[in-house]
Amino acid sequence: MSDATPAAAEPAPTEVRFQHSTDLPGLLARAGCALLVSTYQAGQVVAVGVAEGRLTFAFRRFDHAMGMAVGADVLAVAGKDQVWMLRDHSDQAPSMAPSGRHDRCWLPRTSVVTGNIQSHEVAWGTSTAGEPDLWVVNTRFSCLAGLDDRHSFVPRWRPPFISRLAPQDRCHLNGLAMRDGAPAFVTVMGLTDEPGGWRANRNETGAVLDIASGEPVTSGLAMPHSPRWHRGQLFVLNSGLGRLERVDPDSGTREVVALLPGYARGLALHGDLAFVGLSRIRETTTFGNTPLAPYHDQLKCGVGVIDLRTGTTVGTLEFASGVEEIFDVQVVAGARSPTFGASVDDSDDVWVLPHQDEQA
């Protein structure tokens, strides 16, 4: 393992210390990608890239940062009571401090106020008109939703066993897998229509649902998260057991791809690699009785990189202090060292204006 210089998460005074496997910078460089990592406990989205053979980190604070969705020119971030839209201003990236290091830059431009719907994952799809279309996992109302400028949210789909929309988190709908630009699978922690009913036996009632039929594809999971469709295969995190699993959609059988040293939540698949978010178990009513709980002293917080062909861990990033949990991990393909905007004179604000001929 190689130690790195502590990184300060602005504007909070908390110091974030990390360590990583020696080859992680080279792994990201060879894969041609950077990472985005969200943590609601620390209220941060972290961009992880590579410059001059070393990892780079950029931090942006969001209240209760949860799911993220990387679009062609916009990054969506779900927060406590709103969904933020950050526009890609990569033309400005080289001027961000330190000058010449960064090649991607996202700056907040708008947000949609949803109220506290407990947004979990978000994902970009394609509308019938061929336009980018954001889907929001609305956990509090047990549904998938869209956004517009008039409503808190627009309900689009809910499991057939959910009898009505109500702010009661009945099944803990939390994860969404897209396929060909449309929602295909979701994860729930229980097949229940009772307010908070998923909590009763959450270590064995989790399921992956097929959106088209509403029926379970596979069940009996321990607090599952982050279903993903990749290269014609369905993957899911069996979080309470610390497993990355591959699911056969026809039979419902599951194959363990890798065992993970943490509560697994947040999954990004890129080529033959799986980037998995790992969290330490917090001793609460939600996490205290999970199968991983007896091993809480051995669990890690960070990102594990798994070779999907062998199940081998080929890289790790571990947060040693300042961050206790990870919610989401996203790959930014083609990026080297992203940032969220610090100007060359280290001022807090970055101003982006129209070109002179565009100004009135």
Query: CB–CB of 75/109 below 8 Å?
Result: no
Query: CB–CB of 198/171 below 8 Å?
Result: yes
Please spell the DSSP secondary structure of 90-106, one letter per residue.
Answer: GGGGGGBSSTT--SEEE
Please say whether the dihedral angle defined by the alpha carbons of residues 326, 59, 89 and 100, taken in this order, is positive or negative: negative
Percent of the chain with pLDDT over 70: 89
Reported confidence tier of residue 7, pLDDT bands at 50, 70, 90: very low
Residue at token pair 């506290």: 116
The domain locations on the chain are: 19-342
Give the tens place of pLDDT for each residue, 112-152: 999 999 999 999 999 888 889 999 999 999 999 999 999 99
Predicted local confidence at residue 355, as pLDDT: 55
Query: CB–CB of 142/162 below 8 Å?
Result: yes
Tokens representing residue 64 in the block: 């209760």
Please enumerate in sequence order all residues whose Cβ is within 8 A of that of 193, keeping only pairs 6 or more positions apart, or say none. Answer: 161, 162, 163, 170, 171
Given a cut of 70, is residue 295 above it in pLDDT? yes
Given a cut of 90, is residue 285 above it in pLDDT? no
Rounded CA-CA distance 214/324 in Å is: 34
Reported confidence tier of residue 2, pLDDT bands at 50, 70, 90: very low
End-to-end, the C-alpha distance of the chain in Å comes to 55
For residue 104, give the nearest of 114, 118, 116, 94 by alpha carbon. Answer: 94
Question: Mean of the per-residue pLDDT values for the chain?
Answer: 90
Rounded CA-CA distance 123/70 in Å is: 8
Give the tens place of pLDDT for each residue, 46-100: 999 999 999 999 999 999 999 999 999 999 999 999 999 999 999 989 988 888 9
Rounded CA-CA distance 275/326 in Å is: 12
Reported confidence tier of residue 348, pLDDT bands at 50, 70, 90: low
User: Which residues are paired to 188 by β-bridges?
Assistant: 207
For residue 291, give the nearest of 203, 168, 173 by alpha carbon. Answer: 203
For residue 113, give the nearest of 145, 77, 141, 81 by alpha carbon. Answer: 81
Reported confidence tier of residue 290, pLDDT bands at 50, 70, 90: confident
Residue 294: exposure state from Cβ atoms within 10 A (0-12, 13-18, ≥19): exposed
Rounded CA-CA distance 80/63 in Å is: 6
Averaged pLDDT, 205-223: 97
Reported confidence tier of residue 298, pLDDT bands at 50, 70, 90: confident
Percent of the chain with pLDDT over 90: 77
Given a cut of 70, is residue 346 above it in pLDDT? no
Query: CB–CB of 25/330 below 8 Å?
Result: no
The listed CATH number (2.120.10.30, 3.40.50.300, 3.40.50.1110, 1.10.3720.10) that belongs to domain 19-342? 2.120.10.30
Long-range contacts, 55-58 (Cβ 8 Å, 24+):
55/4, 55/20, 55/24, 55/25, 55/28, 55/317, 56/101, 56/102, 56/337, 57/7, 57/16, 57/18, 58/102, 58/338, 58/339, 58/340, 58/342
